[in-house]
Amino acid sequence: MVGMWDDGRLCHGGDYNPEQWPAATWREDVALMRRARVNLVTVGVFAWSRLEPAPGRYDFGWLDEVLDLLHDGGIRVALATPTASPPPWFSLAHPDALPVTADGVRLHHGSRDTYCAAAPSYRAAARGIAATLAARYAHHPALAMWHVHNEYGTTCHCPHTEAAFRRWLVDRHGDLDALNAAWATSFWSQHYTDWAYVSTPRATQYLGNPGHLLDFRRFWSDTLLAAYVEQRDLLKAANPAVPVTTNYVLGDWVPVDHARWAREVDLVAIDHYPSVVDGGAEEQTALAADLARGWARHGHTRAATPRGPAGPTRADPPATWLLMESAASQIHTTGRAHTKEPGRMARHSLSHVARGSRGAMFFQWRAPAGGAERFHSALVPHTGADSRVFRESVRLGETLDRLAEITAGETTASVALAWDAASGWALRHPGMPSALLDGHAELAAAHRALWRAGYGCDVVVPGDPLDRYRLLVLPALYLADDATAGWVHDHVEAGGHLLVSYLSGVADPHARVHLGGYPGAYRDLLGLRVEEFHPLAADEQVLLSGGGTGRIWSETVHLRGAEPVGTYVGGVLDGRPAVTRHRVGTGTTWYLSTRPDDGTYRRLVTEAARVAGVDPVCPAAPPGVEAVRRAAPGTSWLFLLNHTDRPQRVPADGLDLLTGVPADGEVTLPAGGAAVLREHPR
């Protein structure tokens, strides 16, 4: 099945919007795509108003021609359903399907995503255009996969949503007693005696109910998933052989539980746009790719992925996913677009590929002259093909072609970082003791510490098998039900090591606090009890023994078997434990009661990994050189990415697939460059 999009090569290409260009440009596009060895393009993402200019009146002539041109050029198509942007006529005919914000404002047509995913008329129209496209193109020879919608993530509070939310709550809680208990509604007179009294969490006078907000997030993720699934099923019915996916947008503002969604897609696909420039872009890239690989392990792809052309046969093929969108040349920071330095786009692409992506795709193929995103970067920029960016994309196409064999390898890691969407959502509640709490930032800080120390890591969700991991890290994994607590205990009882950061295991799945001392779910494993929180001001830091500092958070920790590794220096916590270690069977559990500065965090994970018997991927790699390994039985591939502006020498052996030059004991990476070594049999 997945063979339809898999020609044995890594994918190169991106969003292609022929509807924005005259037919003459399509021919030039295909010629340029061939030059850049583009082999997959996403077509039609926002083309609804051009496909169905009036209700029930279709215009497929242009798309027929474009698909044929692409097919003749040997370029495969991820054909999108255009449902992320209904046409103006739809919004006019169905004002009840326009989205309503939490404070009751109904949004209007004029941008994109102006629909409510719970509105029956929207859902019917979305099914309609999806079914029409399926009927026409499900057997088109250019069709490699279906790309449903775009970046599911927008919310709504209209009456349709409210009715659907109540139905979802009845399913989840059964009766109002259970809902009242879960949401602790005796607080502030919120006790419900009729389902009709329950609304979505609208703008209100003061703090909203944490359980209510959390359930709304879960409900909305399920609602968006249902909207995806009904399109997927129509597309599958037309031709079961064509894989179906949708592109995930990342960020904990996104009301989507991506791990849960992964079971419903044939291929996990993510869009990734780093938001910071210096160094952070590389760290964010690595984290996004590790997240995607974690989701892919939940999906169909693992079972369906064919072997790489040169790869050995193996029973358990690597978890594959696809970087569906990235930026050819810009990093969009707050208020400014930073132009990527030469080579940086390729390094970002290779970082994704090293971590399991089946290629590197971009938004967008050609930069448009008009429209809201006219200054977004593109593989063919406004300047045209005679440009640095296009030349780099041609080089990337060549690079990806040389790397086809690496798809046989699985990205290896002995450290697991645990993450679940609901914990991130719950930490955002404004009634938390600090407005600085940010679950995704905690995940990123732990990941950054491991990344900078050179360790590979997998991102897992509670319940995932942990047998391959020596060290499990819980970065502010706030919610823990019995199953999650049991999962962590089993890991430690089996001899695994554990590193837990503050606020992990503090609350149950409804965000109610586990009583008796924090962190209720893990205090026995950690050998301690936290009595009081001491959140820090935004510009405050605490000193730690050993010279480091802590930010955001501190706590009164009482030892119950654990030993201090570091203590607070000064202030009310002077001399009290800040970081602890506890021996449990043959494993060690570590606790961080504050957010250590990056250097201290890095030293701590290095020590925890050393005790757990885990080595960095390439211990001799100099600072600024990222190393990632993909391995298959008898073979491995070492990706070395030089993020510095100087050449770097790395002790290594193997054949550099990018240059064809053997590395015998050492490889020299050009400034900002990379090597991918097929290592000698290990």
Which residues are catalytically annotated? 151, 325
Structural tokens at position 114 = 């102006």
CB-hemisphere CA count at 13 Å for 45? 21
| Interatomic CA distance for residues 507 and 484, integer angstroms | 12
According to CB under 6 A, which residues from 649 to 678 bind ligand GLA? Answer: none
Query: Cβ closer to ligand GLA: 85 or 554?
Result: 85
Instruction: By CB under 6 A, name the one of 325, 392, 420, 555 that touches ligand GLA.
Output: 325
**Where do the H-state alpha helices sit in 187-239?**
210-238
CB of 20 to ligand GLA, least distance (A): 13
Is the link from the previous residue into 55 a cis peptide, with omega within 30 of 0?
Answer: no
Tell me which amino acid residue 95 is. P
According to CB under 6 A, which residues from 235 to 294 bind ligand GLA? Answer: 271, 273
Query: Cβ closer to ligand GLA: 273 or 487?
Result: 273
Which helix (H) or strand (E) is 433 found in, with range?
A: none
Q: Is residue 373 at the binding interface for ligand GLA, with CB under 6 A as the rule?
A: yes
CB of 636 to ligand GLA, least distance (A): 33
Query: Cβ closer to ligand GLA: 289 or 584?
Result: 289
Residue count at the site for ligand GLA (CB under 6 A)? 8
CB of 514 to ligand GLA, least distance (A): 38
According to CB under 6 A, which residues from 10 to 69 bind ligand GLA? Answer: none
The SS3 call for residue 132 is: helix
Q: Is residue 149 at the binding interface for ligand GLA, with CB under 6 A as the rule?
A: no
Query: Cβ closer to ligand GLA: 376 or 470?
Result: 376
Residues 363 and 410: beta-carbon distance below 8 Å: no
Residues 356 and 339: beta-carbon distance below 8 Å: no
CB of 147 to ligand GLA, least distance (A): 10
CB of 351 to ligand GLA, least distance (A): 18
Residues 519 and 500: beta-carbon distance below 8 Å: yes
Query: Cβ closer to ligand GLA: 228 or 273?
Result: 273
CB of 679 to ligand GLA, least distance (A): 35
CB of 374 to ligand GLA, least distance (A): 12
Q: Is residue 363 at the binding interface for ligand GLA, with CB under 6 A as the rule?
A: yes
Q: Is residue 576 at the binding interface for ligand GLA, with CB under 6 A as the rule?
A: no
Q: Is residue 150 at the binding interface for ligand GLA, with CB under 6 A as the rule?
A: yes
Query: Cβ closer to ligand GLA: 80 or 675?
Result: 80
| Interatomic CA distance for residues 10 and 308, integer angstroms | 10
Q: Cβ contacts of residue 512 below 8 Å, gap of 6+?
A: 182, 184, 211
Taking CB positions, which residue lies at the least distance from ligand GLA?
271
Residues 79 and 43: beta-carbon distance below 8 Å: yes
| Interatomic CA distance for residues 512 and 506, integer angstroms | 8
Q: Is residue 377 at the binding interface for ligand GLA, with CB under 6 A as the rule?
A: no
DSSP 8-state secondary structure symbol assigned to residue 314: -
Query: Cβ closer to ligand GLA: 363 or 639?
Result: 363
Q: Is residue 376 at the binding interface for ligand GLA, with CB under 6 A as the rule?
A: yes
Residues 640 and 674: beta-carbon distance below 8 Å: yes
Residues 653 and 663: beta-carbon distance below 8 Å: yes
According to CB under 6 A, which residues from 178 to 237 bind ligand GLA? Answer: none
Query: Cβ closer to ligand GLA: 274 or 294?
Result: 274
| Interatomic CA distance for residues 163 and 223, integer angstroms | 12
Query: Cβ closer to ligand GLA: 326 or 567?
Result: 326
The 3-state secondary structure of 53-77 reads CECCECCCHHHHHHHHHHHHCCCEE
Residues 501 and 522: beta-carbon distance below 8 Å: no
| Contacts with ligand GLA, 97-136, as mask; x by CB under 6 A | ----------------------------------------
Q: Is residue 151 at the binding interface for ligand GLA, with CB under 6 A as the rule?
A: yes
Query: Cβ closer to ligand GLA: 40 or 488?
Result: 40
CB of 107 to ligand GLA, least distance (A): 17
Q: Cβ contacts of residue 86 below 8 Å, gap of 6+?
A: 48, 97, 114, 115, 122, 125
| Interatomic CA distance for residues 200 and 335, integer angstroms | 32
The 3-state secondary structure of 370-410 reads CCCCCCCCCCECCCCCCCHHHHHHHHHHHHHHHCHHHHHCE
| Interatomic CA distance for residues 186 and 413, integer angstroms | 46
Q: Is residue 375 at the binding interface for ligand GLA, with CB under 6 A as the rule?
A: no
Burial of 348 per CB tally in 10 Å (0-12, 13-18, 19+):
buried
Tally Cβ neighbours within 10 Å of residue 334.
6
CB of 246 to ligand GLA, least distance (A): 11
CB of 84 to ligand GLA, least distance (A): 8
DSSP letters spanning 156-212: --SHHHHHHHHHHHHHHHSSHHHHHHHHTTTGGG---SSGGG-------SSPPPHHH
Q: Is residue 352 at the binding interface for ligand GLA, with CB under 6 A as the rule?
A: no
Distances in Å between the Cα of 600 and the Cα atoms of 35, 313, 414, 452 are 48, 42, 21, 11
Query: Cβ closer to ligand GLA: 273 or 478?
Result: 273
| Interatomic CA distance for residues 266 and 145, integer angstroms | 9
3-class SS shares of the chain: helix, strand, coil, % to 5: 35, 20, 45
| Interatomic CA distance for residues 406 and 358, integer angstroms | 10
CA geometry: angle at 408 spanning 407 and 409, to 5°?
90
Query: Cβ closer to ligand GLA: 219 or 273?
Result: 273
CB of 363 to ligand GLA, least distance (A): 4
CB of 362 to ligand GLA, least distance (A): 10
According to CB under 6 A, which residues from 594 to 633 bind ligand GLA? Answer: none
Q: Look at residues 634, 599, 639, 600 and name the one whose alpha carbon lies nearest to residue 621.
A: 639
Q: Is residue 85 at the binding interface for ligand GLA, with CB under 6 A as the rule?
A: no
Q: Contact residues for ligand GLA (CB under 6 A)?
A: 150-151, 271, 273, 325, 363, 373, 376
